[in-house]
Chains A and B, each alone.
Chain A
Amino acid sequence: MQIIVCIKPVPDPKYLSRVSLDETTKTLVRENVPTVINPLDKNALEAALSLRERFGGEITVISMAPESCIPVLREALAMGGDRLLVLSDTRFAGSDTLATASIIAAAIQKTGAFDLIICGNETADSGTSQVSPQLAEFLGVPNIMHVSAIEVSDDGVFRIKSRIEAGYVIAELSAPMVLSVIKELNEPRYITLMNILDAEAKDVRVLSADDMILKEPWVGLSGSPTQIVELAAPEKRAKAEILAGDARRQARALADRLYRMGFYHG
């Protein structure tokens, strides 16, 4: 089974509050925040690894990212990916989801046939969830979002369970397809020092715009149909009034207030 896993380097969600806004350029400053692989992308990779264990094949990890992110992306090879393809070009900068999907699709068309593309359902930074279905559209294959279980029968029929509001659906289809997975699907494996050392020998390639056939004009900021008009911090309420004293005293003060306001009816 030929599997492609799409990953994205993102600011570590644990430190997202350190991201600040440059008031002059109206852009976000992320320098103080460590970069990690988007958490759900590891669930996508874990799904690929367990399918490879059963069916054999290869896992190609693809990321559109600056070359400076390669050390972070290598973790995907340590987890078990066979090779890493980094799509890096200054012309890609400022791409919205449509442009990003068209670039990744062009890279995938160049690398060859696939059975399955697996992505995290959303990223921890922009969180649009739009690139994976748009990638499927550009490649002309079906996609399923919010995937919480993947079963494959011996005759190659995929049974995909996906979450909907207060429920789920199960769909049957055959490869190729794009799946966007949620955390419920699996628990990404831990990597050992040996895994990290083994990954050093694996193939890492960088593709620029010149290395692929970009059929579409949808590249970079100028090729993105959506434009950011303004970026601003949302309004804050005034700083909270902190109640004084230990747990009991604070609880009593709050209980008094809730009772007076009619929130407790006994």
Chain B
Amino acid sequence: MDDVTSKIWVFVEQRRGRIADVGLEILGKALSLAPAAGWKVAAVLLGHGITSMAERLLEYGADEVLVADEKLLEDYCGGTYVAVLERAVLRAKPEVLLIGATAMGTDLAPRLAARLRTGLSAHSIDLELDSKGELIAVIPWSGGDYLGRISCPKSRPQMATINPGIFEIPEKREPRGCIKEMDCAVSAGDHSYRIVEFYQESVAGSSLASAEVIVAGGYGIGKKEDWHYVEELASLLNGAVGSTRPPVDEGWVEHDRMIGQSGRTVYPKLYIGVGISGHMHHIVGIKKADLTIAINQDPDAAVFDHCNVGLVGDFREIIPALIEELKNK
């Protein structure tokens, strides 16, 4: 660990052998930021039996891949992961440490930041790095209605969690970096809980990430029985179904459909929002869509401030009419 030269570290999350896209996305962004400060970038990988994954990270351009491969690190546990990362950070002293804002990352990052007594920006949607190595994280503020630019002037490393889907996964290239082993000793005391059951759908990532058409529903759909309007329109347009937070909370749709601050950012050519009020929580996730259309019965809904085309009326009338008109083409 004493020969680690990278000053930007990217924690790359893996569970049961699957690398989370967001880790690669941040790695790509870090590689584009690093030259400004003359730095190198390390991908940091914890788990068990992860050698092939470490090699893949070199293909994505990491200058170094720091690996902690140990049986006790097989399943994520805050206590063990924080202990290993704390020791590595104290030894190699990175300036910047970036972590995906996933279920794992939002558990790990705050705890590690508190252990290191350093600052952490939450759910960043953009990052900037100046020539002096000062990091600015742009984060949603006041429910996403505003954006805050956050710095961490006095303590190191400067930490941030980054929302999934913000940055692009870098192109693969000829590996030029090397793999280095971290001290992965874990004490029983660090192992603060035991995972007794694990379930994750085997689908590789969300279809939202690559969808060209997305039809998303909001709280205005009103009840689970009416969610099919969203699904039918999406299906007719060969699109994916998206959602704001309330339909997820109400159980109308699965969590992985969520777009926005606590969900993902999407890049469709066409986005249609149905019964969505236009809260910035959601809007930050659709800003990069090409054409945005909103259907809402309230002509003053905020969503019309953020979309190209608006239809004012009851979606229960508009969507069946739209489907019929399209089928007549």
A242: B residues at CB distance < 8 A: 299, 304, 309-312
Q: Which of A76-84, A196-204, A221-229 contacts B (4 or more CB under 8 A)?
A: A221-229
Contact check: which of B111, B151, B326 meets A134 at CB < 8 Å?
A: B111
Q: How far is the CA of A209 from the CA of B232 in the complex (A)?
A: 57
Q: Given A236-B305, A251-B311, A254-B309, are A19 and B142 also a contact pair (CB < 8 Å)?
A: yes
Contact A137 B119 (CB under 8 A): no
Contact A97 B150 (CB under 8 A): no
Q: Is the CB of B153 closer than 8 A to any CB of chain A?
A: yes
Q: Name which residue of chain B comes closest to A241, CB basis.
A: B309
Most chain B C-beta atoms within 10 Å of own C-beta, residue among A165, A216, A237, A239: A165
Main secondary structure of the interface of B (DSSP, over half): mixed
Q: Name which residue of chain B comes closest to A105, CB basis.
A: B114
- Besides A134-B113, A183-B249, A232-B149, 4 other A-B contacts (C-beta < 8 A): A11-B142, A126-B122, A128-B122, A216-B117
Q: Name which residue of chain A comes closest to B112, CB basis.
A: A137
Shortest C-beta distance, A232 to chain B (Å), equals 6
Q: How far is the CA of A129 from the CA of B114 in the complex (A)?
A: 13
Q: Given A98-B119, A248-B321, are A228 and B148 also a contact pair (CB < 8 Å)?
A: yes
Contact A225 B308 (CB under 8 A): no
Binding site for A on B (CB under 8 A): 15, 20, 75-79, 82, 102-104, 106-107, 109-111, 113-115, 117-123, 136, 140-155, 192-201, 203, 206, 213, 236-238, 249, 251, 254-256, 261-262, 269-270, 279-280, 283-284, 287, 291-294, 299, 302-314, 317-319, 321-322, 324-329
Contact A225 B143 (CB under 8 A): no
Contact check: which of A28, A101, A216, A226 meets B152 at CB < 8 Å?
A: A226
Q: Name which residue of chain B comes closest to A40, CB basis.
A: B249
Q: Name which residue of chain A comes closest to B251, CB basis.
A: A184
Contact check: which of B111, B123, B251, B261 meets A133 at CB < 8 Å?
A: B111
Q: How far is the CA of A26 from the CA of B75 in the complex (A)?
A: 44
Q: List 13 A-B contacts (CB under 8 A).
A: A101-B114, A145-B103, A164-B102, A165-B200, A168-B197, A173-B192, A238-B308, A240-B306, A240-B307, A243-B309, A250-B311, A254-B293, A261-B291
Contact check: which of B142, B151, B193, B317 meets A171 at CB < 8 Å?
A: B193
Q: How far is the CA of A137 from the CA of B102 in the complex (A)?
A: 19
Q: Given A227-B152, A241-B310, are A169 and B326 also a contact pair (CB < 8 Å)?
A: no
Q: How far is the CA of A246 from the CA of B321 in the complex (A)?
A: 11
Binding site for B on A (CB under 8 A): 11, 13, 16-17, 19, 21, 28, 96-98, 101, 122, 124-134, 136-138, 141-146, 159-160, 162-173, 183-184, 216, 218, 224-243, 246-248, 250-252, 254-259, 261, 263-266
Contact B321 A225 (CB under 8 A): no
Contact A122 B262 (CB under 8 A): yes
Shortest C-beta distance, B108 to chain A (Å), equals 8
Contact B305 A237 (CB under 8 A): yes
Contact B111 A254 (CB under 8 A): no
Q: How far is the CA of A184 from the CA of B115 in the complex (A)?
A: 30
Contact A237 B107 (CB under 8 A): no
Q: Name which residue of chain A comes closest to B200, CB basis.
A: A167
Shortest C-beta distance, B179 to chain A (Å), equals 26
A125: B residues at CB distance < 8 A: 142-143
Q: How far is the CA of A225 from the CA of B123 in the complex (A)?
A: 17
Q: Name which residue of chain A comes closest to B238, CB basis.
A: A265
Q: How far is the CA of A134 from the CA of B44 in the complex (A)?
A: 22
Q: How far is the CA of A23 from the CA of B194 in the complex (A)?
A: 50
Q: How far is the CA of A261 from the CA of B153 in the complex (A)?
A: 49
Contact B193 A142 (CB under 8 A): yes
Contact A134 B110 (CB under 8 A): yes
Contact A240 B305 (CB under 8 A): yes
Q: Name which residue of chain A comes closest to B108, CB basis.
A: A133
Q: How far is the CA of A229 from the CA of B327 in the complex (A)?
A: 52
Contact A172 B193 (CB under 8 A): yes
B317: A residues at CB distance < 8 A: 247-248
Q: Name which residue of chain B comes closest to A174, CB basis.
A: B193
Q: Given A133-B111, A145-B106, A165-B256, are A127 and B143 also a contact pair (CB < 8 Å)?
A: yes
Q: How far is the CA of A94 from the CA of B75 in the complex (A)?
A: 37
Q: How far is the CA of A226 from the CA of B154 in the complex (A)?
A: 8
A173: B residues at CB distance < 8 A: 192-194
Contact B142 A259 (CB under 8 A): no
